[in-house]
Every structure is written in structure tokens, then in C-alpha cells.
């Protein structure tokens, strides 16, 4: 909803003035009727005492001695009194039952307000008071309180893949497993989504008991869940805050301070690889603060053009000639200086900024490369997240058209690990790009688990051997064997090979004995900006003074539709 826009909605029954007035009027009317009914019953009892004392003796004498019975009007009055008394008694029973029902309804409403309807655990509203209660109990016993915050790793992917019903079943089953491991008189709450909290008292002199419990939770939740023929697997990341090491801003120990610190520790656990637990340490808060500053800086930097392409030379190892460049991202931050992609790329992926960043960088790289000699190619890496976009191929082709850049000079690099997410989607995107003349290379080959069947089924144009193998071929026999094997595989499949990580003349010499490669690495220079590249190319006579390149998108190559239906986002 845009800022300033007023959302129109029907008022809830609890807040609708008309509804409140109707309820109040109904209750007033019922109360008035109840008062009248009880008044009539009381009057009937009084009249019964008066008329009964006169009528009953006359009835007894007429029955035993014969003679004239009681006056008819008195008898009718007595019967009316009896009827009113019965009415009053029934109304009293109805009122008693109604009061009991109201009390039961209030109990149910209170229970629903304090518990999670899916799992039966406490909820976010009740975790605060429950934690404060345990803090008081622990203090009276000389104990401490451990606040364990955890969520299910990759739950969104599981939920999207298997449906919300399966996701709810997974949440319910995970909560049940956790609850069975918790000691009595402790608290388990679902805070929302896939996030849970457990509050446990313990001896502060023996925190290992909490470590053992956390390890058992990790092990138990990691066991597969069965749901309607599906085997669902997940893990949890746990952050732990202890009351004996936690203070709020005013020095108090409360539930909010524990939750805050446990949340920081849980984020740290996720950063360390997930499926683990960490206790809160003050340094983690500084780390999270720095992370928040990075997120803000990345978003601001995208609007200010602070992300720029740097270029690493690619050399034909047989001839020693320059054949192209690989584009690498750099962040020129006013506050942090030149930031490495290892720092900001993972964060950009997590906050959903990687697609915009990548498109900005590729667009600039295509403009830069348009001034290079037409024989030089440009290679760009893409994120696994971008491969999930069904319109990714169309976005790349749009950038090529806008830059008037030949598709045959562009090479898209896909990391091997991307193949495991959705081979069908990758195949569709690769085919769409290849139909237009864009080359596709398989990056970091040897570090993932792609099968030969996948390699053969996907129309790659090149294999790139990961730098971890190339840089070690002189020192490690295993690395040398792996490089030779990949080289033989590429030759057998007629796929040219690029070797990354050439950092010494010895590595270069060894590679030349193994086969024909295109290579890159610090031996040929570190990545540099566009200005430095232009100066270098001008010295080599490889800089085009006037842009004469023409777009060479294949006229007969269809731009494939997205791999699945979706919204152009």
C-alpha cells in the first residue's frame, strides 16, 4: 500500500460501533427481563406463603371432615403462585447455565489469544509474560533462563515446492518433536511463520546442559518427516541468550532483551552454515550492526551508481594473445572504499537486490566492451537467484539490444551448483540465450556434483576449471589429476576449457603441457576498471575509436517463452 493511501475495510465486530451498540442494547434488554422475571418469582413466593397458609388448611379440613372447600379465587391465586415459582426456578437455571457458558467461552477466547492455533504452542503475545514468569521462578531458585530462538532452514523453499498443507504439517511435526525434548515447566512458543522460541531454566554453573539440549534438537528436527507420501527434510539454526548475561537498555533482564540477543545469535548461526547453535556474544551485535549498515549502503549504492565493473584478462595460453575479459563486480563505497564482491554479493542476494545490481553491471560492461576490438569477448557471472527468474533470458537480450552489442561476443557463466536447483529451468534459459548467439559456460567445474548426463543434456559452449584446482597443480597430485581429467572430458565432448587461477609461471608451464586452454589469473594482472582497460587496449591498438559494431541477434532464432508462467517482475 502506498504511503498516505487509506485502506478501506469493514470494521470488525469488536470495533464496529453499530455492532457494539446492538450488543449493549441486547444485554440491557436481557438484564431488564431477568430483573422482571426474578421480581415476579419473588412476589410469587411471598404470595404463596400468604395464600398457602389460608388455602391449605381449608383443603385438609374439606378432605378429612367434609364440608365446604376453599374459595375458588384463592385456589387460582395459589396455582398462579406455584406456576410463577416454577417459572422463576427455570429462569434461574437458565441464567446459571448461561453464566457457565459465558465463563467457558471467555476461557476459550483467552486460550486462543495466548496459543498458536496450528501447533498448540504459546504465541508471540504470550511468550513475554511466560518468560517473565520463568525469570521470577529462576531468580527465586538461584537459576538462570536460557532463551532459545530457532527457525527452520530453507522453509520457504520447502513450502513453495510442496504446498502450504505440507508446510503446515512440517511446522506442526517439528513443534511436536521439540516439545517432547523440553524439560517440564518450560515454555515453547511459535512466534510466527517458521520461527519458534523455547524458554528453559538451568543452572548457570552448568551451561553444557543447554548445549546438549540444543544438539538434541538439531539432531531430532533433522530427521526426515513423512507427510502423505512425501519425505520432508529440514534443519534448524538456534540462537541462545542467557539471562545471567543479558541486560536491556535500562539494565533490567526481561523477555524482550532475551529475544533480541537470541535473534542476533540465530543470525550468526545461519551465517556459520546453519544446522548449528550459538550463544549470544556482544561481538555479534557489532557484526549485525555492520550487516545492517551494509544492507543500507547496498540499497543506496544502487541508486547512486556505486557498483562498477572491473575486468580480468583472459589469455589464449597457446599464443599468449588477449582474447577477452571477465567482468567482476566492485563496490566503490564512500564509507568503506573499494569493497570485494565476497562481502556484498551474498548480502545483495539475501535482500533481493542482486538482479538489479547484476543488470546495472552488465549494462555498463556492454557499453564498455562496445569500444573494444570486435575480436574481444566479455564474460559475466550470474547468480543462482537470477536463474529462477523466467524472464532472465529476455532481460539479457534487452540489454544487448539497448547497447547495440553483438550477442556472439557475450558469454554467460553459470556455476555448477546452479544445476541442482532446477535443471529444466536452466535448460530453457540456456537454450533461449544460445538461440540468439550468446555463449554459455559452466563455471567452477569440479566443485559441484553435476552428472555427466546433465553436462551432456545442457548445451554449454565452454567449461571453466575452478581456481582451487588450477592453482594447486604443481603442489598437489590430486589437483593435477583432476585438471587432466576435466581436460580429457572437455576434449571428448568438444568443449573448450578455461583455466582460472593462473598465478605463477610454473602453473602456466604445467597447463601448457596438458592441453589447449584459455586462461586467466593474477599472473596476467589483477582486475582493473574500465579506464585502465581502455588505456591498455589503446596501447595494443585494440580500442575502437568509433562504435561500428552491429547487433547480431540471429533473425531466425526464437526468443523462447519463460520456463514457467509468471509475472514479469
Q: Cα 546 from chain centroid?
A: 49
pLDDT at 273: 87
Give CA–CA dist 24/14, Å, rounded. 12
Banded pLDDT at 369 (limits 50, 70, 90) = very high
pLDDT at 438: 96
What burial letters (b/e) apply to 61-76, b meaning 16+ CB within 10 Å?
Answer: eeeeeeeeebeeebee
pLDDT at 175: 95
- Could you please state the CATH topology (level 3) that the domain comprising 124-280 is classified under: Alpha-Beta Plaits (3.30.70)
More confidently predicted of 307 and 28 = 307
Banded pLDDT at 555 (limits 50, 70, 90) = very low
Q: What grid cell was written down for 194?
A: 517458521
Give every CB contact of residue 125 below 8 A, 6+ residues apart in sequence. 113, 114
pLDDT > 50? residue 561: no
pLDDT at 426: 81
Give CA–CA dist 329/361, Å, rounded. 7
330 near 308, Cβ under 8 Å?
Answer: yes
pLDDT at 230: 86
- Mean pLDDT, residues 121-150: 93
Give every CB contact of residue 285 below 8 A, 6+ residues apart in sequence. 261, 264
Distances (CA, A) of 335 to 287, 297, 353: 17, 9, 20
Give CA–CA dist 454/419, Å, rounded. 8
- Mean pLDDT, residues 494-516: 93
pLDDT at 531: 97
Choose among 449, 442, 481: nearest CA to 465.
442
Strand (E) or helix (H) holding 323: strand 322-333
Give CA–CA dist 521/538, Å, rounded. 22
On average, the pLDDT of the chain sits at 83
More confidently predicted of 28 and 331 = 331
Give CA–CA dist 364/309, Å, rounded. 7
The per-residue pLDDT for range 16-72, each reduced to its tens digit, is 434 434 444 454 455 555 655 656 566 656 655 556 556 566 655 656 656 565 556
Choose among 135, 229, 150: nearest CA to 191.
150
- Mean pLDDT, residues 153-158: 87
- Mean pLDDT, residues 389-401: 93
pLDDT > 50? residue 134: yes
Q: What grid cell was written down for 265?
A: 545469535
Q: What is the dihedral of CA 203, 205, 211, 213, to 10 degrees?
A: -20
pLDDT at 253: 80
534 near 410, Cβ under 8 Å?
Answer: no
DSSP string, 330-399: EEEETTTEEE-HHHHHHHHHHTT-HHHHHHHHHHHHHHHHTTB-TT-EEEEE--TTGGG-TTHHHHHHHH
pLDDT at 211: 96
pLDDT at 423: 74
464 near 442, Cβ under 8 Å?
Answer: yes
Query: Helix 530-540 and helix 354-369: axis angle, to 10°?
Result: 20
Structural Rg of the chain based on CA atoms: 38
- Mean pLDDT, residues 455-462: 82
pLDDT at 7: 33
- Mean pLDDT, residues 330-356: 94
The per-residue pLDDT for range 199-211, each reduced to its tens digit, is 999 999 999 999 9
C-alpha dihedral sign at 516, 520, 523, 524: positive
More confidently predicted of 492 and 14 = 492
pLDDT > 80? residue 225: yes
539 near 416, Cβ under 8 Å?
Answer: no
What phi, psi does 543 have (nearest 5°)? Answer: -110, 130
Q: What percent of the chain has pLDDT over 70?
A: 77
The per-residue pLDDT for range 311-322, each reduced to its tens digit, is 999 999 999 999
- Mean pLDDT, residues 159-176: 91
The per-residue pLDDT for range 422-444, each reduced to its tens digit, is 677 788 888 899 999 999 998 88
232 near 224, Cβ under 8 Å?
Answer: yes
C-alpha dihedral sign at 210, 212, 214, 220: negative
Per the document, the length of the chain is 569
pLDDT > 60? residue 393: yes
Choose among 390, 325, 402, 323: nearest CA to 359.
402
- Mean pLDDT, residues 459-470: 90
> What number of other Cβ atoms are within 10 A of residue 560's Cβ?
17
More confidently predicted of 69 and 415 = 415
Give CA–CA dist 161/238, Å, rounded. 24
374 near 544, Cβ under 8 Å?
Answer: yes
pLDDT > 60? residue 168: yes
Query: The cell 465486530 sits on which residue?
Result: 13
pLDDT at 279: 96
Strand (E) or helix (H) holding 309: strand 307-316
Poorest-confidence range of 111-125, 126-140, 179-193? 111-125
Give every CB contact of residue 36 below 8 A, 6+ residues apart in sequence. none
**Strand bridging mode 322-333 / 277-279:** unpaired
pLDDT at 388: 82
Please state the domain extents for the chain.
26-114, 124-280, 463-517
Choose among 354, 132, 165: nearest CA to 258.
132
Q: What grid cell was written down for 204?
A: 548457570
Amino acid at each position: 500500500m502506498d504511503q498516505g493511501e487509506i485502506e478501506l475495510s469493514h470494521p470488525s465486530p469488536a470495533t464496529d460501533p453499530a455492532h457494539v451498540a446492538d450488543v449493549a442494547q441486547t444485554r440491557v434488554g436481557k438484564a431488564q427481563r431477568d430483573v422482571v422475571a426474578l421480581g415476579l418469582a419473588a412476589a410469587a413466593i411471598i404470595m404463596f406463603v400468604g395464600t398457602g397458609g389460608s388455602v391449605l388448611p381449608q383443603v385438609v379440613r374439606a378432605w378429612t371432615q367434609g364440608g365446604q372447600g376453599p374459595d375458588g379465587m384463592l385456589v387460582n391465586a395459589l396455582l398462579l403462585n406455584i406456576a410463577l415459582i416454577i417459572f422463576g426456578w427455570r429462569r434461574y437455571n437458565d441464567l446459571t447455565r448461561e453464566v457457565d457458558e459465558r465463563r467457558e467461552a471467555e476461557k476459550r477466547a483467552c486460550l486462543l489469544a495466548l496459543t498458536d492455533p496450528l501447533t498448540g504452542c504459546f504465541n508471540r503475545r504470550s511468550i513475554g509474560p511466560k518468560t517473565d514468569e520463568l525469570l521470577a521462578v529462576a531468580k527465586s531458585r538461584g537459576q538462570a533462563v536460557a532463551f532459545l530462538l530457532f527457525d527452520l532452514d530453507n522453509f520457504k523453499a520447502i513450502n513453495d515446492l510442496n504446498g502450504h498443507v505440507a508446510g503446515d504439517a512440517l511446522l506442526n511435526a517439528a513443534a511436536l518433536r521439540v516439545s517432547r525434548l523440553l524439560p517440564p515447566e518450560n515454555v515453547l512458543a511459535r512466534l510466527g511463520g517458521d520461527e519458534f522460541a523455547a524458554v528453559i531454566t538451568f543452572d548457570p554453573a552448568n551451561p553444557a546442559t543447554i548445549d546438549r539440549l540444543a544438539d538434541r534438537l538439531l539432531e531430532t528436527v533433522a530427521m526426515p518427516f513423512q507427510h502423505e507420501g512425501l519425505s520432508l527434510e529440514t534443519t534448524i539454526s538456534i540462537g541462545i541468550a542467557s539471562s545471567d548475561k543479558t541486560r536491556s537498555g535500562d539494565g533490567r533482564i526481561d523477555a524482550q532483551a532475551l529475544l533480541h540477543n537470541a535473534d542476533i545469535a540465530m543470525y550468526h548461526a545461519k551465517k556459520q552454515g546453519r544446522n548449528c547453535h550459538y550463544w549470544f556474544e556482544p561481538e555479534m551485535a557489532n557484526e549485525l550492526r555492520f550487516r545492517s549498515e551494509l544492507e543500507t549502503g547496498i540499497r543506496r549504492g544502487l541508486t547512486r551508481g556505486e557498483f562498477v565493473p572491473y575486468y580480468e584478462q583472459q589469455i589464449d595460453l597457446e599464443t599468449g594473445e588477449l582474447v577477452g575479459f571477465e567482468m567482476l563486480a566492485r563496490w566503490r563505497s564512500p564509507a568503506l572504499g573499494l569493497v570485494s564482491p565476497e562481502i556484498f554479493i551474498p548480502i545483495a542476494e539475501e535482500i533481493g537486490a542482486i538482479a538489479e545490481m547484476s543488470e546495472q553491471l552488465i549494462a555498463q560492461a556492454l557499453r564498455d566492451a562496445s569500444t573494444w576490438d570486435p575480436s574481444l569477448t566479455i564474460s559475466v557471472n550470474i547468480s543462482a537467484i537470477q536463474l529462477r527468474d523466467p524472464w532472465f533470458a529476455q532481460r539479457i537480450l534487452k540489454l544487448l539490444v539497448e547497447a547495440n552489442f553483438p550477442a556472439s561476443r557475450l558469454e554467460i557463466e553459470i556455476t555448477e551448483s546452479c544445476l541442482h536447483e532446477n535443471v529444466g529451468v536452466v535448460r530453457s534459459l540456456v537454450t533461449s540465450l544460445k538461440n540468439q548467439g550468446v555463449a554459455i559456460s559452466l563455471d567452477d567445474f569440479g566443485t559441484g556434483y553435476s552428472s555427466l548426463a546433465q553436462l551432456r543434456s545442457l548445451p554449454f559452449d565452454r567449461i571453466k576449471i575452478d581456481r582451487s584446482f588450477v592453482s594447486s597443480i604443481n603442489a598437489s597430485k590430486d589437483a593435477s589429476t583432476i585438471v587432466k581429467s576435466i581436460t580429457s572430458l572437455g576434449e571428448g565432448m568438444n568443449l573448450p576449457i578455461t583455466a582460472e587461477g593462473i598465478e605463477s609461471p610454473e602453473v602456466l608451464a604445467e597447463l601448457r603441457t596438458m592441453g589447449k586452454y584459455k586462461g586467466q589469473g593474477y599472473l596476467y594482472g589483477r582486475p582493473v576498471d574500465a579506464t585502465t582497460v581502455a588505456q591498455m587496449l589503446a596501447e595494443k591498438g585494440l580500442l575502437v575509436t568509433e562504435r561500428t559494431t552491429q547487433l547480431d541477434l540471429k533473425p531466425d532464432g526464437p526468443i523462447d517463452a519463460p520456463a514457467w508462467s509468471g509475472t514479469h517482475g
